[in-house]
Chains A and B, each alone.
Chain A
């Protein structure tokens, strides 16, 4: 049976569609949905094109599989009797270009609790023996997962495995699985809803790990980790940002945006103690074979105000003291 998860699904569009269907308690037929989406709401894909009939099909199919819509007599209705759906209806605010944090969290809960999404993707992140989890459990206990592409006998194959339990693995061999897992659920979790982060490492592949949906910048836990990692006996301590990202990221479950945002904040506060070390862009993307791959490889680097890609920082030992100032790092 073909899998239903697809990367073309925009959760902003899903929210708009939910809002539209919620206005019709008797339900909406697919044809009406298409007319509304294309002629009234004029929903667009990420590339800016008007949504196609196929895309609208994937929208309603996704909402049905996530348990937000039910079908009765050919009409799609909101599954209001479900408490989480009820909460979603109360929360959503249509008409905004981005999802609100609460909307993202609710959609993330639907995705994580879906049996197909779990079986094909989220279960890989979970430690052995944990099968019953929700979004909170996933974010608190999920472990890093690596995916990498290889060619075996001229066939493109992707492997996903849990970095701490390598026996937990999945092979992607068909285009349907690829679209559903790599470009479906993974994209939703990483790009649309922002509860997994991913960083590309040469020789390893894409390392993914769960991250909390929100949090402060600067993050006090990151500041504390930085403060503790500075060698007091050395005048300067060097840090590889990708090393920081792949250790502190999963440890504190913090996104690269927040992690690097914290470092940028520190740099702005104490420019004399924090030196950004840029990298050669051509070397940073040495194994990228397409413009898309280049963008993907550069995700792991901090981009500073001058547009440079920063691979390392060096930090003066005096930062260790100033980070302890109560106004900087509340104790």
Chain B
């Protein structure tokens, strides 16, 4: 197979066969038409106050996930914004907290928080408590100082500006201390009102704000951003109850409120339909979310230049060292896009899929290179067969 790729001037196939997700090698490239509006939004909102929410709209396969990943990997770190990526977040506010904390891991979050807070237990020799988080936890348990530790942590949480509310501070402190016995999160930890729950009841927004502050401060970041993909898949179950539909809208409201008060950003990718329905359900909420149309971006289909550039960028990442012609489309013909149908080259997913099959097949079979129009036509027809035409009726 390696020999087959060598014939194509490639080290590997740079196009994913499923054409979903993002490449793992090299930096991510997005067309300037996509990057500009997002950079403008980030520039503007880093300087001013207001709702730091943004909606990215696009059909399936248009590059929403890719664009969010580009923000996560390329654009947000440059601005010291700590990004968290979510798929299908669920309708309830604490579903987000659950997804976030599980992404971080309990031990990692608790440890980062503990290090940031630097708790000191009075009337105890410091040597008894060791220097590491694990040793500290073990000693607290061994000497039955849980209540003291929780009190101390709670105090430090206030001093460090993470939270004022007593119940929230207590829950956070417990989250740290009880990590010794349960070093992972469970869903029930985020069910408010349940025995042993780590979240307070009816205090969702302040609690969440405290998490955001903790994430920001422990990560040395200027702010925190949530990148939420497939927002339209709000529920794994097919039908939402009335209450869940209400919770979905309530969650959106709370998130927007948080972006106004905290150093918190939210970027949501959804289908145009999800945006349309949300707007119809709550026009005022939607207008607030997208700041009367300013914070909304409909991903445009790729034009011929962008499609060519996308293919060239992918190929460049897989070229052998010393290959000087980085912009070449080889093994594709230079007029590749002219040979593809409009619905194929305009959709990143379809384009990548066609290229993936073309390269994979040519790596294992004797396919003429540069690829011929017939070869590319055959692959397009295999992957996206043209529907049978029907006669008019009355």
Task: List residues of A (223-246) whose CB comes within 8 Å of B's CBs.
Answer: 235-236, 238, 240, 242
Q: Evaluate contact between B298 and A238: CB separation under 8 angstroms.
A: yes
Q: Which residues of chain B are near A202, meaning CB under 8 Å? A: 277, 280-281
Q: What is the bound-complex CA distance between A235 and B342, given in angstroms?
A: 10
Task: List residues of A (273-290) whose CB comes within 8 Å of B's CBs.
Answer: 273-275, 277-289
Which residue of chain B has the shortest Cβ distance to A262 in the bound complex? B392
Q: Evaluate contact between B392 and A271: CB separation under 8 angstroms.
A: no
Q: Which residues of chain B are near A285, meaning CB under 8 Å? A: 238-239
Given A280-B273, A316-B342, answer yes or no on A217-B239 (Cβ-Cβ < 8 Å).
no
Which residue of chain B has the shortest Cβ distance to A285 in the bound complex? B239
Interface 1/0s, chain B 210-240, versus A by CB < 8 A?
Answer: 0000000000000000000000111101111
Given A286-B240, A287-B281, answer yes or no on A217-B387 (Cβ-Cβ < 8 Å).
no
Q: What is the bound-complex CA distance between A285 and B273, given in angstroms?
A: 11
Q: Evaluate contact between A277 and B59: CB separation under 8 angstroms.
A: yes
Q: What is the bound-complex CA distance between A203 and B241, given in angstroms?
A: 16
Q: Which residues of chain B are near A286, meaning CB under 8 Å? A: 234, 240, 245, 248, 277, 281
Q: What is the bound-complex CA distance between A204 and B387, given in angstroms?
A: 36
Of the candidates A283, A291, A314, the one whose C-beta lies within 8 Å of that of B274 is A283
Given A236-B300, A316-B342, answer yes or no on A215-B277 (Cβ-Cβ < 8 Å).
no
Q: What is the bound-complex CA distance between A282 and B392, given in angstroms?
A: 33
Does A172 count as interface, using CB distance less than 8 angstroms? no
Q: Evaluate contact between B271 and A216: CB separation under 8 angstroms.
A: no
* Count of chain A to chain B residue pairs whose CB atoms are closer than 8 Å in the complex: 121
Does B47 count as interface, using CB distance less than 8 angstroms? no
Q: Evaluate contact between A272 and B281: CB separation under 8 angstroms.
A: no
Q: What is the bound-complex CA distance between A131 and B274, given in angstroms?
A: 41
Task: List residues of B (319-370) whose CB comes within 8 Å of A's CBs.
Answer: 341-344, 346-347
Does A134 count as interface, using CB distance less than 8 angstroms? no
Q: Evaluate contact between B303 and A235: CB separation under 8 angstroms.
A: yes
Does B78 count as interface, using CB distance less than 8 angstroms? no
Q: Evaluate contact between B387 and A305: CB separation under 8 angstroms.
A: yes
Q: Evaluate contact between A268 and B241: CB separation under 8 angstroms.
A: no
Task: List residues of B (245-288) whose CB comes within 8 Å of A's CBs.
Answer: 245, 248, 271-274, 276-277, 280-283
Q: What is the bound-complex CA distance between A217 and B384, given in angstroms?
A: 25
Interface 1/0s, chain A 287-298, versus B by CB < 8 A?
Answer: 111010010000
Q: Evaluate contact between A282 and B240: CB separation under 8 angstroms.
A: yes
Q: Evaluate contact between B301 and A279: CB separation under 8 angstroms.
A: no
The number of chain A residues with a CB under 8 A from chain B is 44
Which residue of chain A has the shortest Cβ distance to B241 in the bound complex? A289
Q: Evaluate contact between B277 and A271: CB separation under 8 angstroms.
A: no
A156–chain B nearest beta-carbon distance, Å:
14
Q: Evaluate contact between B277 and A283: CB separation under 8 angstroms.
A: yes
Q: Which residues of chain A are near B388, meaning CB under 8 Å? A: 268
Given A278-B60, A282-B237, A286-B245, answer yes or no on A265-B390 (Cβ-Cβ < 8 Å).
yes
B168–chain A nearest beta-carbon distance, Å:
32
Does A269 count as interface, using CB distance less than 8 angstroms? yes
Q: What is the bound-complex CA distance between A273 and B343, given in angstroms?
A: 6
Given A203-B281, A305-B387, answer yes or no on A240-B393 (Cβ-Cβ < 8 Å).
no
Give the interface SS of chain B, mostly helix, strand, loop or mixed.
loop
B339–chain A nearest beta-carbon distance, Å:
12
Q: What is the bound-complex CA distance between A279 and B207, given in angstroms?
A: 34
Given A203-B281, A282-B239, A318-B342, answer yes or no on A240-B276 (Cβ-Cβ < 8 Å).
yes
Q: Which residues of chain B are near A312, meaning CB under 8 Å? A: 59, 272-273
Of the candidates A217, A240, A281, A318, the one whose C-beta lies within 8 Å of that of B238 is A281
Given A217-B394, A287-B245, answer yes or no on A282-B235 (Cβ-Cβ < 8 Å).
yes
Does A136 count as interface, using CB distance less than 8 angstroms? no
Of the candidates A201, A271, A282, the one whose C-beta lies within 8 Å of that of B233 is A282
Q: Evaluate contact between A268 and B301: CB separation under 8 angstroms.
A: no
Q: Evaluate contact between A282 and B272: CB separation under 8 angstroms.
A: no
Which interface residue of A202, A268, A283, A284 has the most chain B CB atoms within 10 A? A283
Does B144 count as interface, using CB distance less than 8 angstroms? no
Q: What is the bound-complex CA distance between A316 and B277, given in angstroms?
A: 25
Q: Evaluate contact between A314 and B59: CB separation under 8 angstroms.
A: yes
Q: What is the bound-complex CA distance between A313 and B389, given in angstroms?
A: 19
Of the candidates A214, A291, A311, the one whose C-beta lies within 8 Å of that of B276 is A311
Q: Evaluate contact between B238 and A218: CB separation under 8 angstroms.
A: no
Does A141 count as interface, using CB distance less than 8 angstroms? no
Q: Which residues of chain A are near B292, meaning CB under 8 Å? A: none
Q: Evaluate contact between A268 and B387: CB separation under 8 angstroms.
A: yes
Q: What is the bound-complex CA distance between A203 and B387, given in angstroms?
A: 36
Q: What is the bound-complex CA distance between A272 and B248, given in angstroms?
A: 37
Q: Which residues of chain A are near B342, meaning CB under 8 Å? A: 272-273, 316, 318
Does A44 count as interface, using CB distance less than 8 angstroms? no
- Can you list 30 A-B pairs, Cβ within 8 angstroms, ordered by A? A202-B281, A203-B282, A214-B394, A235-B301, A236-B301, A238-B272, A238-B298, A240-B273, A268-B388, A268-B389, A271-B384, A272-B342, A273-B342, A277-B271, A278-B59, A279-B271, A280-B271, A280-B274, A281-B238, A282-B234, A282-B235, A283-B274, A284-B277, A286-B234, A286-B248, A287-B240, A288-B239, A289-B241, A311-B273, A316-B342
Supplied contacts A282-B234, A311-B271, 16 more A-B pairs, CB within 8 Å: A202-B281, A203-B282, A242-B276, A265-B390, A269-B389, A272-B342, A274-B343, A277-B59, A279-B271, A281-B238, A283-B273, A284-B273, A285-B239, A289-B242, A305-B387, A316-B343
Q: Which 7 pairs, one residue from A and one from B, show the smallest C-beta to C-beta distance?
A: A311-B273, A272-B341, A202-B280, A279-B273, A203-B280, A277-B59, A283-B232
